[in-house]
């Protein structure tokens, strides 16, 4: 099975600025799903990869991340660790959502995993 990129995320200190910027710069459609915290993004393309814009965890500087779809996040993390990556967060269930996990590649870039539905 291929492991496609299925979601992207932009997080920062001021999501109102970020949603306004990306919405106006690229005509992206945004839907607020957690008031003042998180918006789902539709880029509007035929092969649209959905995304999100929100508040950075713990008030940090923010990040841009993409999520790769996998059948088994725990197994993917084992393989990633064997290849020189590092687990950042173990698989966790998002309320009313998917199972996700995060890892850092050998240079420290954090990438998300999301369980196939």
Instruction: Kindly report, residue by residue over 83-95, the tens digit of the pLDDT.
Output: 999 999 999 999 8
Fold for the domain defined by 71-117: 2,3-Dihydroxybiphenyl 1,2-Dioxygenase; domain 1 (3.10.180)
The arithmetic mean of pLDDT across residues 88-112, rounded, is: 93
98: Cβ–Cβ under 8 A, 6 or more apart, which residues?
A: 114, 115, 117
Pick from 109, 107, 102: nearest CA to 68: 102
First-residue to last-residue Cα distance in the chain: 13
CATH superfamily of 1-64: 2,3-Dihydroxybiphenyl 1,2-Dioxygenase, domain 1 (3.10.180.10)
Q: Which residues pair with 110 in a beta bridge?
A: 104
Q: What is the pTM of this model?
A: 0.84
Stretch(es) of the chain classified as CATH 3.10.180.10: 1-64, 71-117
Q: Which residues pair with 41 in a beta bridge?
A: 30, 51
Instruction: Kindly report, residue by residue over 20-62, the tens digit of the pLDDT.
Output: 999 998 899 999 999 999 999 999 888 889 999 999 988 788 8
CA distance 72 to 49: 21
């Amino acid at each position: 099975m291929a492991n496609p990129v299925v979601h992207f995320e932009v997080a920062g200190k001021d999501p109102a600025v970020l949603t306004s910027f990306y919405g106006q710069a690229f005509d992206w459609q945004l839907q607020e799903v957690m008031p003042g915290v998180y918006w789902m993004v539709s880029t509007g393309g035929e092969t649209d990869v959905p995304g999100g814009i929100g508040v950075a965890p713990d008030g940090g500087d923010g990040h841009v991340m993409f999520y790769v779809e996998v059948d088994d996040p725990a197994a993917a993390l084992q393989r990633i660790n064997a290849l020189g990556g590092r687990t950042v967060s173990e698989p966790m269930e998002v309320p009313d959502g998917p199972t996700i996990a995060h890892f850092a590649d050998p240079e420290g870039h954090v990438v998300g995993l999301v369980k196939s539905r």
